[in-house]
Amino acid sequence: MLLCQISDLYLVEEGALACGRVDTPGMLEQCVRKILELPLRPDVLVATGDLTDNAIVAEYGVLREILAPLPMPIFLAAGNHDRRGALQTAFPDHRYLRGEDGFVQHVIDDFELRLVVLDTVVANEEGGLLCERRLRWLDRTLAASSRPTIVAQHHPPFAAGLNYMDARGLANPAAEATVIARHPHVERVISGHFHRNMQARFAGTVALACPSTAHQLMLDLVPGADIRFTYEPAGFHLHLWNGAELVTHTAVAGDFSRLGHQRLKRRAGPYAAEQDSGMVKCALAAVKKARPSSSCAAIAARRSRPPRRRCRRTRCARPSR
């Protein structure tokens, strides 16, 4: 089974730009094309929140339109840029969004992997929280089946070292860890919010943050650093369940040239190969021993030195004049 995860779409109305400069609809369209071009088509897709920038009807309409070409089932989670009521109104055919006990959280049992979508949103707040009601729901849901499970949510349950975002992260990750640790069949806790690809050990499993399909958060680990965004390539995650273990891949959503796609022929010698087309050849017949590294300036200085001659009296070496 192959599960595709996208996150932090930040969609705006047609003709608008997120943050006044980012064409988030165009970037999501590029991401959708990339997903459709994958050699192995995902079985299901989950979007882990911040689906829009302002949670208005027109932006959710753009989301529906751009995701329409994807043939696989799609499941949506709410983020701090979303509003539960607006999301439910915009997607009345997504019955799972009705959730339970006022929260947009649900479980999908239709695939090899069980998908549990958790609501971490606090209305009108950037940070997230799991109240007692949501934690009890999570515990009951995980206890209902011992099948391999992915828990999907918007706010990551770990600190990233990015101070601005950590102050707006999940307020009580330890409470979630207590629940997750009771259920060893949880293979991953997947999330978004941080706009970067991240991993952390969490409650006996692995927690991940997915890159954004739009702009990324600049990697600045200096304490007290402010938030800054960057046009690093957008991306998404592919979670592959092979029947025994879950492997997560990070895909980059962009158009990049290929070195070649023809099958390579093996040639004699270590690390030697030749492409069928003859366009690209690699014939490393032997591995040379690495030479000590030197800077270009040091090499140039050595070459510019005058030749050295031996002193007849002391036999020491001194520069020629």
290 has a pLDDT exceeding 50: no
The 10s digit of each residue's pLDDT in 94-142 is 999 999 888 999 999 999 999 999 999 999 999 999 999 999 999 999 9
The 10s digit of each residue's pLDDT in 67-100 is 999 999 999 999 999 999 999 999 999 999 999 8
Over the chain, what is the mean pLDDT? 86
Q: Averaged over 229-253, what is the pLDDT?
A: 95
pLDDT-derived band of residue 280, with 50, 70 and 90 as boundaries?
very low
Instruction: Look at strands 114-117 and 106-108 and give their pairing.
Output: antiparallel
Its pTM stands at: 0.81
The 10s digit of each residue's pLDDT in 158-197 is 999 998 899 999 999 999 999 999 999 999 999 999 999 9
Selected residue with higher pLDDT from 187 and 261 = 187
CB 192 within 8 A of CB 49: yes
**Number of Cβ atoms within 10 Å of the Cβ of 48:** 31
272 has a pLDDT exceeding 60: no
Q: Averaged over 246-265, what is the pLDDT?
A: 78
CB 108 within 8 A of CB 141: no
Determine the pLDDT at residue 200: 97
- All structural domains of the chain, each given as residue ranges with its CATH number in brackets, are 2-252 (3.60.21.10), 259-321 (no CATH)
Beta strands per DSSP E along the chain? 2-6, 44-48, 74-77, 106-108, 114-117, 149-152, 186-191, 198-202, 205-209, 216-217, 229-230, 235-241, 246-252, 264-266, 272-275, 281-283, 308-310, 317-319
The 10s digit of each residue's pLDDT in 51-67 is 999 999 999 999 999 99
Question: Helices 132-143 and 173-181 sit at what angle, rounded to 10 degrees?
Answer: 20
pLDDT-derived band of residue 147, with 50, 70 and 90 as boundaries?
very high
Interatomic CA distance for residues 259 and 137, integer angstroms:
49
The candidate with the shortest Cα–Cα distance to 97, out of 108, 113, 81, 112, is: 108
Determine the pLDDT at residue 278: 44
Secondary structure of 289-318 as H, E, C letters: CCCCCCCHHHHHHHHHCCCEEECCCCCCEE
Interatomic CA distance for residues 192 and 81, integer angstroms:
12
Determine the pLDDT at residue 264: 52
Determine the pLDDT at residue 266: 56
The candidate with the shortest Cα–Cα distance to 77, out of 236, 200, 190, is: 190
**Angle at Cα 132 formed by Cα 130 and Cα 135, nearest 5°?**
60
Selected residue with higher pLDDT from 310 and 252 = 252
pLDDT-derived band of residue 320, with 50, 70 and 90 as boundaries?
very low
Determine the pLDDT at residue 283: 36
Interatomic CA distance for residues 3 and 159, integer angstroms:
25
The 10s digit of each residue's pLDDT in 3-26 is 999 999 999 998 889 988 899 999
Question: Helices 24-36 and 57-67 sit at what angle, rounded to 10 degrees?
Answer: 20
The rounded percent of the chain whose pLDDT value lies above 70 is 80
Determine the pLDDT at residue 20: 84
Of the candidate ranges 39-43, 59-63, 182-186, 308-312, the one whose mean pLDDT is the lowest: 308-312
